[in-house]
Structures are given as structure tokens and as C-alpha cells.
């Protein structure tokens, strides 16, 4: 498999974690997002959205969107599972992950922040937009897992919700979000980062880290 990646992409970070949890290897190929390499014609032919990650399977099939890729990996390599067996907890885990990927990350990513600046705002305003979006969204996520004993978001093993949480916490710290009011999420992150699968996927551990 080939993973089109960028060290600081939180979406690609999710897929790196999932691959590690499943014990799978993929050749990393890089598209530097800040240089706009994801918008080159050859990459758009691969992924018309011009986003990373994209996962190319052995037969040449291209998969896009991080959660879809993670669920594909879970379905084709079911051990260890990324979703709880209980159907209610499975739905709640998916909802938590989507709250991050669709409601937080999607409106504070690089493309959106660049558009905020294109509307005439400065970098400080764009950063404040990201900070507010992340803080508000994570406060809701704290409540979503408030009844779960842990140590991970939904149970005693890491799963899809944790795969979404850890990269978003990385972004939260980049933008100076105060995390002290989110003890349940902080505890889940700590449990994750103690595992090699999460530690090895960290942005600063990637060969293209700057």
C-alpha cells in the first residue's frame, strides 16, 4: 500500500495510527500542504479533492477520507477492532469521531484558514477562529464521553474515537487551546500516547517533519 501523507496533517495522522494499530505497513509519499503540492495535476488525478491522506491499495484502488480509510482497514483487518462490539457504543464512537472530523477539523483546517485570510483577515484572526472552533468542539466531546469509564474514549482498548481525538489534541495545542477543563479527554489521550502505535504516528516522528 501507498499512503499519501504530510507530517502535520491531522487527517493523515489518523490513518498512520490506524495502520500502526493494525500492524500494517504502507509506503509514505509526501505532498507538502503549505507549498500547495496537493493541488498539482498528477495528485488531483489521484484524489480530485486535493487532500491528504489518500491510500493506494495493492491493486491500484485509491481510497480517500481518513475515517473511510480507517473503517476499510478495520473491515479488512478486524483484529484488533477499532469499534466496540455493542451497537450503541459503535454508533457513539462513530459520532464522536465525526464530531471531530466534520465539526471541528473541517472548519479549522489549512484550507479554511487560508480562506479566512483571503477575506482580508490577518493571521491572528485566522488563528483565533481555529482556537474558538477547537475549544467549543472539544468541550462537547468531553461531554460525549463523560459517562465512559475509560481509560480510552470508549472502553479498555483504543478505537476510532481515539484515532480522531489524539491528532485533534495535537492541533489544539498548536493553536493554544486550554485543555484543563477536559480531564476525561486528557486522560484518554495519555492512555493512547503510552502505546507505540500512537507514539510512532506522531508528527514529529515522521521523516518529513520540519
Which residue intervals of the chain bear CATH 3.40.30.10?
A: 2-80
Identify which of 183, 192, 209, 140 has the alpha carbon closest to the alpha carbon of residue 20.
Answer: 192
Cell numbers for 42, please give them. 498528477
Res 107: pLDDT: 85
Residues in the chain, pLDDT under 50? none
Which residue intervals of the chain bear CATH 1.20.1050.10?
A: 87-197
Cell numbers for 134, please give them. 477547537
Which class would CATH give 87-197? mainly alpha
Q: Which residues touch 61 (CB under 8 Å, ≥6 apart)?
A: none
pLDDT tens column, 42-73 = 999 999 999 999 999 999 999 999 999 999 99
Residue listed under C-alpha cell 489521484:
46
Res 162: pLDDT: 98
20 contacts 46 by C-beta, under 8 angstroms: no
Res 83: pLDDT: 98
Output the DSSP codes for 22-41.
Answer: HT---EEEE--GGGTGGGSH
In the CATH scheme, what is the code of domain 2-80? 3.40.30.10
Amino acid at each position: 500500500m501507498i499512503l499519501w501523507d504530510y507530517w502535520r496533517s491531522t487527517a493523515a495522522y489518523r490513518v498512520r495510527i490506524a495502520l500502526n494499530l493494525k500492524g500494517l505497513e504502507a509506503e509514505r509519499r509526501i505532498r507538502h500542504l503549505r507549498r500547495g503540492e496537493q493541488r498539482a495535476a498528477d495528485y488531483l488525478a489521484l484524489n480530485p479533492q486535493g487532500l491528504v491522506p489518500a491510500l493506494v491499495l495493492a491493486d491500484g484502488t485509491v481510497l480517500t477520507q481518513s475515517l473511510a480509510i480507517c473503517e476499510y482497514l478495520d473491515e479488512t483487518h478486524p483484529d484488533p477492532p477499532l469499534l466496540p462490539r455493542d451497537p450503541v457504543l459503535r454508533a457513539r464512537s462513530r459520532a464522536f469521531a465525526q464530531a471531530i472530523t466534520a465539526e471541528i477539523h473541517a472548519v479549522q483546517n489549512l484550507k479554511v484558514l487560508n480562506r479566512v485570510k483571503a477575506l482580508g483577515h490577518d493571521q491572528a484572526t485566522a488563528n483565533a477562529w481555529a482556537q474558538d472552533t477547537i475549544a467549543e468542539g472539544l468541550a462537547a466531546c468531553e461531554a460525549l464521553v463523560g459517562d465512559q469509564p475509560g481509560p480510552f474514549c470508549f472502553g479498555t482498548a483504543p478505537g476510532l474515537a481515539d484515532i480522531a481525538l489524539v491528532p485533534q489534541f495535537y492541533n489544539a495545542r498548536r493553536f493554544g487551546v486550554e485543555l484543563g477543563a477536559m480531564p476525561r479527554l486528557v486522560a484518554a489521550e495519555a492512555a493512547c500516547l503510552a502505546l507505540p502505535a500512537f507514539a510512532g504516528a506522531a508528527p514529529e516522528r515522521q521523516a518529513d517533519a520540519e
